């Protein structure tokens, strides 16, 4: 069965192959990017990147021609900026934008439209077969597909024991179904930017990309001076964070508890996490305050022991670790 998407779908999901097909069929060429009327598209692309690196979802939605071109120019500009943390944060924001539209669409569209989306986005892009229940309110995913994607989610609700499972399928609501592929969407967008090779850029795009790079660079400067005295495990976590890469939950806990233990102010600790691809200041602040014992259970969390960090593959011991049993002891023996 051939499943057709509407133009509205292409506006909301400009990463679909059909959007690229639209550009090819319309005869759009590289030289068109230099037209004066592209100024509005370049402005939208810059706003989309700025929103992404600030951890926000770009909300504007225009006609599909505008959205497809904006998406293309945004990818070009992110590639031209050439900063991996910017790409990572932008890709995650783009995935979140698609996630928002997908959740809405799965809730309100009729069966045929919903089937088209399930087939094109989940099936074609991610090889994930999804079926709906008869009343169309829930979605069924094979247990193996579910486990492959949910195993890195930490929340209790994603544990199999807390799911409705029947006949080898896990049942999910629309938002949960979409959440399953968020990471894959981000990885796909990241991969597309990496795979791009740019010829000489049109002047207007180059100038705007250069300006954005100059504005964003200070956020990602590696603060070597503040890292050298930390134990290697903490230093490694800060370096990963500064590169804008994802840090496992256990490493975030180690980093935050260590910083609290050396009396770093909560504001500065929250600031350390700002390059995380999924950074949300409100949630991060709550979590740090929770670990400090000023929110929630009122229990102050200790820095995990070196033994525990070893079992979590978070230990990067050097000779300076000198048989210590907790990172908080690092440097004390030498003194």
Closest to ligand SF4 by CB, 241 vs 321, is: 321
How many residues lie near ligand SF4 (CB under 6 A)? 12
The counts of H helices and E strands in the chain are 16, 4
Closest to ligand SF4 by CB, 81 vs 255, is: 255
Among 68, 186, 303, 309, which residue interacts with ligand SF4 (rule: CB under 6 A)? Answer: 309
Task: Tell me: does residue 327 bind ligand SF4 (CB under 6 A).
Answer: yes
Residues 6+ apart with CB under 8 A from 204: 34, 38, 39, 42
Query: Quick one: tokens of 75?
Result: 């990818």
Candidates 28-36, 68-76, 258-266, 308-316; binding stretch for ligand SF4 (CB under 6 A): 308-316
Closest to ligand SF4 by CB, 42 vs 303, is: 303
CA distances from 56 to 92, 200, 238, 280 (A): 10, 30, 23, 9
What's 130's DSSP letter? E
Among 198, 261, 266, 317, which residue interacts with ligand SF4 (rule: CB under 6 A)? Answer: 317
Closest approach of ligand SF4 to the CB of residue 262, in Å: 13
Residues 6+ apart with CB under 8 A from 6: 113
Ordered DSSP codes for 154-173: -SGGGSGGGSEEETTEEEE-
Beta bridge partners of 230: none
Closest approach of ligand SF4 to the CB of residue 304, in Å: 8
Residue list 201-240, contact with ligand SF4 (CB under 6 A): 231-233
Q: Under the rule (CB under 6 A), what is the footprint of ligand SF4?
A: 231-233, 306, 309, 315-317, 321, 324, 327, 330
């Amino acid at each position: 069965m051939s499943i057709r998407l509407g133009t509205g779908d292409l506006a909301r999901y400009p990463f679909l192959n059909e959007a690229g097909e639209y550009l090819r069929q319309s005869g759009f060429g590289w030289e068109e990017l230099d037209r004066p009327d592209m100024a509005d598209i370049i402005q939208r692309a810059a706003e989309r990147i700025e929103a992404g690196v600030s951890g926000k979802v770009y909300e504007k939605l225009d006609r599909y021609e505008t959205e497809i071109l904006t998406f293309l120019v945004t990818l070009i500009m992110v590639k031209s900026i050439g900063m991996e943390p910017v790409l990572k944060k932008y890709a995650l924001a783009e995935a979140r934008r698609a996630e928002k539209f997908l959740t809405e669409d799965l809730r309100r569209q009729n069966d045929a439209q919903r089937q088209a989306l399930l087939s094109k986005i989940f099936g074609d892009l991610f090889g994930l077969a999804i079926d709906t229940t008869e009343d169309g309110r829930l979605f069924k995913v094979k247990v193996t597909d579910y486990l492959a994607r949910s195993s890195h989610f930490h929340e209790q609700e994603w544990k199999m024991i807390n799911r409705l499972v029947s006949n080898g399928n896990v049942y999910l609501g629309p938002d949960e179904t979409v959440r399953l592929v968020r990471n894959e969407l981000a990885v796909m967008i990241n991969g597309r930017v990496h795979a791009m090779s740019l010829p000489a850029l049109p002047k207007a795009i180059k100038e705007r990309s250069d300006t954005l790079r100059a504005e964003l660079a200070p956020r990602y400067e590696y603060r070597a001076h503040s890292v050298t005295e930390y134990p290697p495990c903490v230093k490694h976590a800060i370096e990963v964070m500064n590169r804008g890469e994802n840090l496992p939950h256990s490493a975030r806990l180690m980093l935050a508890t260590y910083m609290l233990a050396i009396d770093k102010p909560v504001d500065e600790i929250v600031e350390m996490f700002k390059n995380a691809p999924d950074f949300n200041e409100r949630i991060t602040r709550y979590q740090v305050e929770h670990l400090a014992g000023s929110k929630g259970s009122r229990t102050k969390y200790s820095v995990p022991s070196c033994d525990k960090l070893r079992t979590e593959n978070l230990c990067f011991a050097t000779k300076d670790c000198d048989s210590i049993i907790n990172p908080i002891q690092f440097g004390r023996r030498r003194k």
